[in-house]
């Protein structure tokens, strides 16, 4: 009887099991979080720090330096390896950002506004929309109309956005 009960799990049971595993990763901020008005940058630094401490979940590691990280380093015109090295020296978020400004590009207020709006809306009615829908389906969020962007998806997937 126990065997048949195990085999009779419904799709809803499996989705609930997946959702139960979803939790916030300690010391990993939302992509919406800002430093000196710049979105996403604090999260990138958190991922670098967590990885160096061996606390970053394995499924995050292949994307280090890619995706939104890559967009951020291109925006600031610094290399990812140099950013990692500077971050690992124990610098604060502000010190690392100032280092980026000194060694790369210090964006104007207008450039930061454009950056923030682009990043905040990525996946909403743009070339990333199809990928966002795929990720929502994979994550069990296909019925979540409130998840409109990748930032929304990340927050929901990491347990910051109500389920």
Q: Is residue 138 part of a domain?
A: yes
Q: Are residues 146 and 80 in the same domain?
A: no
93 and 129 fall within a common domain:
no
The span from the CA of 59 to the CA of 50, in Å, is 13
Give yes or no: residues 88 and 146 share one domain: no
45 and 71 within one domain: yes
Q: Indicate the number of domains in the chain.
A: 2
Inside any domain, residue 135 = yes
Write down the residue that tokens 């979803």 correspond to: 22
Question: What is the maximum span of the chain, computed from C-alpha positions, in angstroms?
Answer: 67
Confidence of residue 156 (pLDDT cuts 50, 70, 90): very high
Domain shared by 34 and 74, yes or no: yes
Asked whether residue 55 is assigned to any structural domain, the reply reads: yes
How many other CB atoms are found less than 10 A from the CB of residue 3?
7
Q: Identify the domain boundary among 79, 107, 135.
A: 107
Mean pLDDT (the chain, rounded): 88
Q: Are 32 and 80 in a shared domain?
A: yes
With a CB cutoff of 8 Å and minimum separation 6, the contacts of 35 are: 41, 42, 93, 94, 97
Inter-residue contact 29 to 61 (CB < 8 Å): no
What Rg value do the Cα atoms of the chain yield, rounded? 18
Q: What is the Cα–Cα distance from 112 to 60, expressed in whole angstroms?
A: 26
Domain extent, residue 36, equals: 28-107
Helix axes 150-157, 129-138, angle to 10 degrees: 10
pLDDT tens per residue, range 16-65 = 434 434 567 999 999 999 999 999 999 999 999 999 999 999 999 999 99
Q: Specify the pTM.
A: 0.84
Query: Residue 10 domain-assigned?
Result: no
**Parallel, antiparallel, or unpaired: how do β-strands 38-39 and 34-35 relate?**
antiparallel
């Amino acid at each position: 009887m126990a065997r048949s009960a195990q085999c009779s799990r419904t799709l809803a049971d499996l989705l609930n099991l997946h959702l139960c595993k979803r939790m916030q990763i300690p010391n990993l901020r939302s992509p919406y979080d800002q430093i000196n008005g710049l979105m996403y940058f604090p999260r990138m630094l958190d991922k670098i720090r967590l990885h160096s401490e061996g606390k970053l979940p394995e499924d995050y590691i292949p994307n280090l330096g890619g995706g939104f990280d890559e967009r951020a380093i291109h925006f600031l015109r610094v290399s990812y390896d140099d950013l990692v090295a500077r971050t690992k020296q124990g610098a604060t978020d502000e010190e690392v950002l100032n280092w980026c400004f000194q060694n790369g590009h210090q964006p104007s207020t207008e450039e930061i506004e454009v950056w923030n709006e682009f990043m905040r809306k990525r996946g909403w009615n743009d070339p990333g929309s199809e990928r966002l829908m795929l990720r929502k389906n994979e994550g069990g969020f296909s019925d979540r109309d409130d998840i409109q962007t990748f930032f929304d998806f990340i927050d929901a997937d990491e347990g910051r956005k109500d389920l």
